[in-house]
Amino acid sequence: MSQNVRAKKSGLSADIQKKLEAKYSQDQEAQCRAWIEEVLGEKLSNSELGMHNFQQCLRDGQILCKLLNTLNGEPLVKKINQQKMAFKQMENIEQFIKGCKIFGLKDGDIFQTADLYECQNMSQVQTCMFAVGTVSQKNGYQGPTIGTKISKPNPRDWSEEQLKAGDTIIGQQMSCYKGATQAGMNIGKNRNIID
């Protein structure tokens, strides 16, 4: 029995879907899988790499909710539905998305329910996993990490004397090219006017 709920796409929709699927990275999937398994201390249900296999691991939303609760330290998702009904699984995904917003993710980093549940845009799901890993570091999670490390502010206190000293430094271009300008440059053929 096929898990796809929607009819097969055609025309422009099919072209867009192909581009979304082309953005999917199995390398990023492997990183996401390893990170999720390490954080939760349990193996994902389907260990074979591939977009549809990864989707099947996360489709019911339970793993995502457990992951977010573990990273936060206290439950952001109060009730995780264990039922196999489609609307209950989508409810888990919605709870995860709401929890991500509370956790500190930006709207552009979060996927939509259909992106995961109907395998519409799994590359956005990967993006969200990396963003969750990044924000968890910012929020003080000390366990395994994924994603980029957020830089910390490094404010500088310059004295007025130090700021004025910068005005006397000649810029890189002035020193290398001795104040070169475009004066005297000709582009193209000269136009001669004959009387």
Q: Is 175's pLDDT higher than 60?
A: no
- Structural domain contains residue 109: yes
The confidence score (pLDDT) of residue 129 equals: 94
Range of the domain at 104: 11-138
The radius of gyration computed from the CA coordinates of the chain, to the nearest angstrom, equals 27
Q: Is 7's pLDDT higher than 80?
A: no
The confidence score (pLDDT) of residue 2 equals: 43
The number of folded domains in the chain is 1
How much is the average pLDDT of 110-132?
Answer: 92
User: Is the separation of the CB atoms in 108 and 101 below 8 Å?
Assistant: no
Q: What percentage of residues in the chain have a pLDDT greater than 90?
A: 40
Q: What is the CATH number of the domain that holds 83?
A: 1.10.418.10
What is the pTM assigned to this prediction? 0.71
What does the chain come to in residues?
A: 195
Q: What average pLDDT is seen over the chain?
A: 84
Residue type, 122: M
